């Protein structure tokens, strides 16, 4: 019995040191140890050896299956890792191609998509084509926006220039009207001054005539004797009535001259007033022309 127990224990110790025993093998080994330690009568040696051998073989098969399953799982993981690495390499190659071929046009990208051998290449070239189209659209929109901005700026400049030219035209018209009005007023003033000088000359002539008439009218103040004497000496008596008629005519002319003198004085006053008014108006117009705020003056 001791000879049987020692190989069993040795076998169990070897299994425990080489690899972790399965659950049922550990349970069986623990049961054998329990049997070996008990004082019950031992089973037959051949039965124990066959049972131990079967358990060992079953454990070996389980371990082999576990190893095979682990090897298969490792192989699958390796294949997946290799496939993933290959895909990453293809993606990197496609990215390098896109980075190098940045000058490809739409037709070339379409040919690349048609000649693609995998879905990844189609997706990659398709995304590149979409990006190229979006960039082209954005560039066209930017160019259109810049052209519209330039056109609007040119329009605003033209409108401002038109307004400035219109304002200059209005100012030019006002200045021209002002100059014409000033010339007209100057002509009127000159005419008024001419009228004044003419009236002054007429007034002086009337005053001279009036003084001469005063001298003539002072002769009837002589005494009757002297008049009769002078008349008897110088003229015949038939000339007396014509002298009286002449005196009457002179008196009438004196009255008419006085009326004309009064009328001329009134005309002179009116002309002087008109000249002063025109001079004030000319002065006001000159001030307005100097300040640049001239308007239509009535």
Q: What DSSP designation does 292 have?
A: T
Mean local confidence (pLDDT), 61-90:
86
Encode pLDDT of 250-263 as tens digits.
677 777 777 777 78
Mean local confidence (pLDDT), 77-92:
80
Encode pLDDT of 15-51 as tens digits.
554 444 444 445 445 555 544 544 445 555 566 678 8
Q: Is the pTM of this model over 0.75?
A: no
CB-neighbour burial class of residue 252 (10 A; exposed 0-12, middle 13-18, buried 19+):
exposed
Query: DSSP string spanning 44-64?
Result: -HHHHHHHHHHHHHHHHHHHH
Question: Rounded CA gap, 272 and 289, in Å?
Answer: 25
- Decide: helix, strand or coil at residue 40: coil
Contacts 24+ apart (CB under 8 A), 168-172: none
181, 297 contact by CB (below 8 A)? yes
Asked if pLDDT for residue 59 goes beyond 80, the answer is yes
Confidence of residue 219 (pLDDT cuts 50, 70, 90): low
Which residues lie closer than 8 Å to 190 by C-beta, 6 or more apart? none
Mean local confidence (pLDDT), 70-95:
80
């Amino acid at each position: 019995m001791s000879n049987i127990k020692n190989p069993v224990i040795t076998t169990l110790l070897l299994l425990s040191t080489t690899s972790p025993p399965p659950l049922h093998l550990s349970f069986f080994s623990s049961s054998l140890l329990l049997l070996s330690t008990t004082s019950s009568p031992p089973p037959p040696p051949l039965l124990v050896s066959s049972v131990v051998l079967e358990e060992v073989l079953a454990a070996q098969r389980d371990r082999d299956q576990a190893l095979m399953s682990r090897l298969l799982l490792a192989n699958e993981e390796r294949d997946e890792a290799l496939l993933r690495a290959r895909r990453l390499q293809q993606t990197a190659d496609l990215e390098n191609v896109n980075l190098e071929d940045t000058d490809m046009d739409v037709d070339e990208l379409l040919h690349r998509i048609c000649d693609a051998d995998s879905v990844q290449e189609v997706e990659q070239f398709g995304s590149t084509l979409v990006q190229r189209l979006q960039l082209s659209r954005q560039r066209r929109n930017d160019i259109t926006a810049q052209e519209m901005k330039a056109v609007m700026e040119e329009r605003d400049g033209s409108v401002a220039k038109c307004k400035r030219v219109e304002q200059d035209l209005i100012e030019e018209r006002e200045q021209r009207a002002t100059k014409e009005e000033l010339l007209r007023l100057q002509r009127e003033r000159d005419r008024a001054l001419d009228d004044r000088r003419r009236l002054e000359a007429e007034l002086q002539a009337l005053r001279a005539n009036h003084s001469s008439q005063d001298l003539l009218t002072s002769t009837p103040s002589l005494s009757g004797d002297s008049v009769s004497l002078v008349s008897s000496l110088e003229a015949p008596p038939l000339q007396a009535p014509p002298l009286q008629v002449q005196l009457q005519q002179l008196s009438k002319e004196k009255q008419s001259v006085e009326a004309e003198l009064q009328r001329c004085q009134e005309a002179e006053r009116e002309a002087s007033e008109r000249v002063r008014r025109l001079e004030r108006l000319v002065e006001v117009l000159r001030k307005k022309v100097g300040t640049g705020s001239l308007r239509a003056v009535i």
